[in-house]
Each structure stands twice: as structure tokens, then as C-alpha cells.
């Protein structure tokens, strides 16, 4: 399955900057307990895992970029939360 056959550039931008809202309101399927834990605690990692599972064979570059965004987004979110609670 090719990413561009299913989704467009607007979806890509939204899933990058607003992963929880995009996952909640898009056609991305929900999963079990691990999916919901990823949705609540690490949505960027959930997006990267889903991208790897579905698009590794057809869009390797997008998958690799999703992993960079996942690590960067998760680190940024956690550092913001830690700095707010240390005050």
C-alpha cells in the first residue's frame, strides 16, 4: 500500500503537528490496550510504529522521517512537561 494513494499532504502535516487529534478524527484504525497507551502517552511513537507497519515497503523515506519526528516530538513534549512541573 502506498501512503499517497490513501492520504494526502494535509494528513501528513496534521499527523506531524497534531498526532492525537489526527488519530482521533481520521480513518486510522484503533487497536487494543497498547494502541490506547501509545495514543495517550506517546502519540508520535504510535504514528511511527503504524507507519513502519503499513508503509515500510513503499515509502521508506517517510517512515524514517516519522521516526525522527517521533523521537524529537516525544523528547520535546516530555521536556516541556518536566519544566512546567519543576517550577
4-30: burial string, b at 16+ Cβ within 10 Å, e else: eeebeeeebebbeeebeebbeeeebee
Q: Which of 20, 11, 80 is nearest to 45 (CA)?
A: 20
pTM of the model: 0.76
Q: Which of 35, 56, 60, 31 is nearest to 45 (CA)?
A: 35
Q: How confident is the model at residue 28, as a pLDDT?
A: 67
> Which single residue is written with the C-alpha cell 521508506?
60
| Cβ count within 10 A of residue 46 | 23
Q: Tens digits of per-residue pLDDT, 13-26?
A: 998 888 888 888 87
Q: Tens digits of per-residue pLDDT, 56-87?
A: 999 999 999 999 999 887 777 778 778 888 76
Q: How confident is the model at residue 85, as a pLDDT?
A: 81
Q: In this model, does residue 45 exceed pLDDT 70?
A: yes
Calpha distance 77→1 (Å, rounded):
31
The pLDDT of 25-47, averaged and rounded, is 81
Amino acid at each position: 500500500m502506498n501512503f499517497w494513494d490513501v492520504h494526502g499532504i494535509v494528513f501528513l502535516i496534521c499527523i506531524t503537528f497534531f498526532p492525537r487529534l489526527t488519530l482521533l478524527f481520521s480513518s486510522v484504525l484503533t487497536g487494543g490496550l497498547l494502541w490506547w497507551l501509545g495514543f495517550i502517552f506517546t502519540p508520535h511513537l504510535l504514528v511511527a510504529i503504524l507507519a513502519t507497519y503499513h508503509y515500510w515497503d513503499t515509502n521508506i523515506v517517510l517512515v524514517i522521517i516519522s521516526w525522527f519526528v517521533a523521537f524529537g516530538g516525544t523528547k520535546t513534549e516530555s521536556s516541556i512537561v518536566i519544566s512546567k512541573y519543576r517550577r
